[in-house]
Amino acid sequence: MKKNWQFIAVVLVLSLAILACGSSTPAAPSDPNILFQDDFSSSNSGWDEVTVDGQGMTDYENGYYRILDEADEIYWANPGLSFTDMSLEVDATKAGGPDDNLFGVICRYQDENNFYLFLISSDGYYGIGKVTNGDLSLFGTDMYQPTDTINQGNATNRIKADCVGSNLTLTVNGQLVGSASDTAYGSGDIGLIAGASSTGGAGADIHFDNLVVRKP
């Protein structure tokens, strides 16, 4: 299904329930090019741990990080870090819900209303976008674009987002699928994001694992 870029509101309804997480910094990676990494085997790495019955969850579970949408919304989580130029990679697996979904990663997160995001869907679409004052716009198009590089259905995709200077690029399963240029946000937090598309469809259940942030 072709997707309209507007998903009514980019909201985190779980935010009212978020408790401050007392995070401990993971051990420094042995590779000097790695700025941060997380296999989600420990809940001490700083990500939100929130579950709201009937709405969804953003929490650690069984060695991965789970975002579940039960309320036809978009949810995200952040570890409370800050990076300037970096390359972020993560495995994202659709565990349940409709293929007409949205999930991916965030870079240069300022607050819940201002950040860059890199999205794909389980029915084979992608987009690079910018949230400004709570409104999402996609770069270069008003619709998500199809690509054969996405593993569709209940599958795992390796998502890579590069945020280097003004350049924003999205790579899926080792193949470049899109790029954009913007100077609004120069640094900020990273994030994981998932939920319903603009056409609705609560039930998106995405599992994230093997996250790595590297120097570009």
Cα–Cα distance measured from residue 170 to residue 163, given in angstroms and rounded to the nearest whole number: 9
Nearest alpha carbon to residue 110 among 188, 193, 191, 20: 188
Every domain of the chain and the residues it spans: 13-18+31-214
pLDDT of residue 191: 98
pLDDT of residue 160: 98
Cα–Cα distance measured from residue 208 to residue 3, given in angstroms and rounded to the nearest whole number: 23
pLDDT higher at 23 or 176: 176
pLDDT per position as a tens digit, 39-62: 999 999 999 999 999 999 999 999
pLDDT of residue 199: 78
CATH code linked to domain 13-18+31-214: 2.60.120.560
